[in-house]
Amino acid sequence: DARVTQTPRHKVTEMGQEVTMRCQPILGHNTVFWYRQTMMQGLELLAYFRNRAPLDDSGMPKDRFSAEMPDATLATLKIQPSEPRDSAVYFCATSDSRTGELFFGEGSRLTVL
């Protein structure tokens, strides 16, 4: 059963700490997206990669967020330093770009105190 795997599922941390979220794409999917979901803003695109190259990170606060894809099986989203306003659910989604259908992971729920 092919699926997107995200870790951790839940993270509680204190303001100022570094947070790293990880995503394992579906095998064969060459486009990886990071979305953030909050009650107020809904689903917002932070960044995405195609064939491991960053295509768009305009939705991401550059001073504290960074996204990388060190290899085809791993995408990471890092926040340093974290702030309470970063509290949200972070979703990784992947697609094979032919159909455009995105397949989402279960999300990483982040709480910054």
Partner 1 sequence: EDQVTQSPEALRLQEGESSSLNCSYTVSGLRGLFWYRQDPGKGPEFLFTLYSAGEEKEKERLKATLTKKESFLHITAPKPEDSATYLCAVRSGSDYKLSFGAGTTVTVRA
Q: Which positions lie near partner 1, rule CB under 8 A?
A: 4, 31, 33, 35, 42-43, 45, 48, 50, 55-56, 91, 93, 95, 97, 99-107
Phi, psi of 36 (to 5 degrees): -120, 135
CB nearer to partner 1: pick between 14 and 56:
56
- Provide the minimum distance between the beta carbon of 79 and partner 1 in the complex, in angstroms, as a whole number: 20
The least CB distance from residue 95 to partner 1, in Å, is: 7
Compare residues 80 and 97 and give the one whose CB is closer to partner 1. 97
Query: What is the rounded distance in angstroms from the CA atom of residue 13 to the CA atom of residue 76?
Result: 18
CA-CA distance, 4 to 64, in Å (whole number)? 25
Q: Looking at beta carbons only, is 28 or 99 nearer to partner 1? A: 99
Shortest CB 22 distance to partner 1, Å: 15
Q: 109 pairs with which residues across the strands? A: 10, 89
Question: Rounded distance, CA 102 to CA 8, Å?
Answer: 20
Specify the residue, 51 or 80, whose C-beta has the smaller distance to partner 1: 51
Structure tokens at 51: 């064939």
Tokens of 55: 């295509």
